[in-house]
Amino acid sequence: MSAATICPPSIEPDLPPGAVGRLTIDLDALAGNWRQLTAAAGPGVTVGAVVKADGYGLGLAPVALSLAAAGCRWFFVALLEEGEALARAFAGRWPEARIGVFSGPLPGTLERFLAGPSLVPVLNDLDQVEAWRMRGGGRPAILHLDTGMARLGLPPEEALALAADPARRAGLALAAVMSHLACADEPAHPHNALQLARFERLSAGFPAAPRSLAASSGFFLGPGYRFDLVRAGAALYGLNPTPGAPNPMRQVVGVQARILQVRAIDRGSPVGYGAAFTTDRPRLVATIGLGYADGLPRNAGNRARCHVGPMEAPIIGRISMDLATLDVSAIAPERVRPGRLVELIGPHHDADALAAECGTIGHDILTGLGPRLHRVYRGGAPC
């Protein structure tokens, strides 16, 4: 990594006046997570980065540029627009970087794929295979095989038929064959071994192509699942790829919210919409300026927790569009004055913990973080 591509740390401790929430993104931890996976995989395995949905909500350009500066050369996005935006962000740097586009060459997009030399479409059905073979100019694509998810990709019988018919494959250059695991976050699930066996069998029909099966959790199912190319998303962003076991990744994301008002209320007082919480004793209530429009799920109401240092501040009442209410009775009053920040995601309570309280997964929390949060990038922000 050359120092010239890295900006000085951009630490901005304070929120601008008027901002009510802050999203901090530790780009050093992000790059460290990529290096950790790359080192753990060892030689012969390439760890690609999935940066779809604006880099899981953390900012496509800063995320991808940090990973590229660390040495990552394979990137994946869901949409062609995302791939084009990434190619623009690279602006001629890392010309060898490749951008796989999961949604593939949808009708009317062929010219745009051909205009972007780094773009690699994922071919999800036989029509796309045929179109790319005839009009893709010999450019490589990724062939997606469905090994048991019924989502995208060629079903086994089509994959076998294509493999068996050289005429239908003539001129088709494959950068990889890929499939996706449905149950990788449950290591004991029998579907993992079944999909692995199907992938071995179906990919053998395309012996010259590198193989890609694992995303973040699949990586941790063991070396037998890693093949040539891993497509890691969640783990890079610090989410736990091994649910139920300690998180092997570094935390990347923090979310803090500003306290707007604090009030002492009596026993029997309702809090928030629907009077969905009523106090059983006098309490101190802090209102923070962060709501479901900012990505604090509405079903965090009466379920999730914030933190002030190590102290818990349970969310009480419903989440509003722009506001939420916390019980801060147990916290020293000087620490919960208006203007102070409380932690929604951070060292005491990570995105997975918030997700579990809300009945969802960390991917959903990160990609839901809204544009009103003031973003602060820490560490090796690329210029």
Ligand X SMILES: *Cc1c(COP(=O)(O)O)cnc(C)c1O
Give the footprint of ligand X on this chain (CB under 6 A).
50, 52, 102, 180, 215-216, 231-235, 363
The least distance separating ligand X from the CB of residue 235, rounded to whole angstroms, comes to 6
The least distance separating ligand X from the CB of residue 259, rounded to whole angstroms, comes to 33
Q: Please state, in angstroms and rounded to a whole number, the distance separating the CA atoms of residues 356 and 197.
A: 32
The least distance separating ligand X from the CB of residue 53, rounded to whole angstroms, comes to 8
- Residue 19 forms beta bridges with which residues? none
The least distance separating ligand X from the CB of residue 151, rounded to whole angstroms, comes to 9
Find where tokens 């102290």 sit.
311
Q: Which is nearer to ligand X, 238 or 289 (CB)?
A: 238
Does residue 368 contact residue 21 with C-beta atoms inside 8 Å? no
Q: Which is nearer to ligand X, 232 or 324 (CB)?
A: 232
Helix (H) or strand (E) holding 195: helix 190-203
Longest alpha-carbon distance in the chain: 79
The least distance separating ligand X from the CB of residue 332, rounded to whole angstroms, comes to 39
Q: Which is nearer to ligand X, 216 or 325 (CB)?
A: 216
The CA-based dihedral angle spanning residues 108, 111, 112, 115, taken in that order and rounded to the nearest 10 degrees: 180
Q: Please state, in angstroms and rounded to a whole number, the distance separating the CA atoms of residues 314 and 209.
A: 52
Catalytic residue among 56, 225, 273, 377: 273
Q: Which is nearer to ligand X, 233 or 382 (CB)?
A: 233
Q: Which is nearer to ligand X, 231 or 283 (CB)?
A: 231
* Structure-block tokens of residue 117: 């030399």
Where are the strands (E) in the chain, listed by range?
21-26, 46-50, 74-77, 98-101, 119-123, 141-144, 174-178, 211-212, 229-232, 253-265, 270-271, 277-278, 283-288, 305-308, 311-316, 324-327, 341-345, 374-378
Using Cβ positions, the residue closest to ligand X within the complex turns out to be: 233
Q: Which is nearer to ligand X, 9 or 222 (CB)?
A: 222
Q: Please state, in angstroms and rounded to a whole number, the distance separating the CA atoms of residues 183 and 190.
A: 9
292 classed as catalytic: no
Q: Which is nearer to ligand X, 62 or 238 (CB)?
A: 238
The least distance separating ligand X from the CB of residue 362, rounded to whole angstroms, comes to 9
341-345 and 253-265 strand pairing: antiparallel
The least distance separating ligand X from the CB of residue 366, rounded to whole angstroms, comes to 9
Helix (H) or strand (E) holding 33: helix 27-41
DSSP 78: S
* Order of all β-strands in the sheet with 119-123: 211-212, 174-178, 141-144, 119-123, 98-101, 74-77, 46-50, 229-232
The least distance separating ligand X from the CB of residue 152, rounded to whole angstroms, comes to 8
Least Cα distance to 1 among 89, 88, 74, 65 occurs for 65
Q: Which is nearer to ligand X, 342 or 351 (CB)?
A: 351
The CA-based dihedral angle spanning residues 265, 268, 270, 274, taken in that order and rounded to the nearest 10 degrees: 170
The length of the chain is: 383
* Residues belonging to the active site: 52, 273
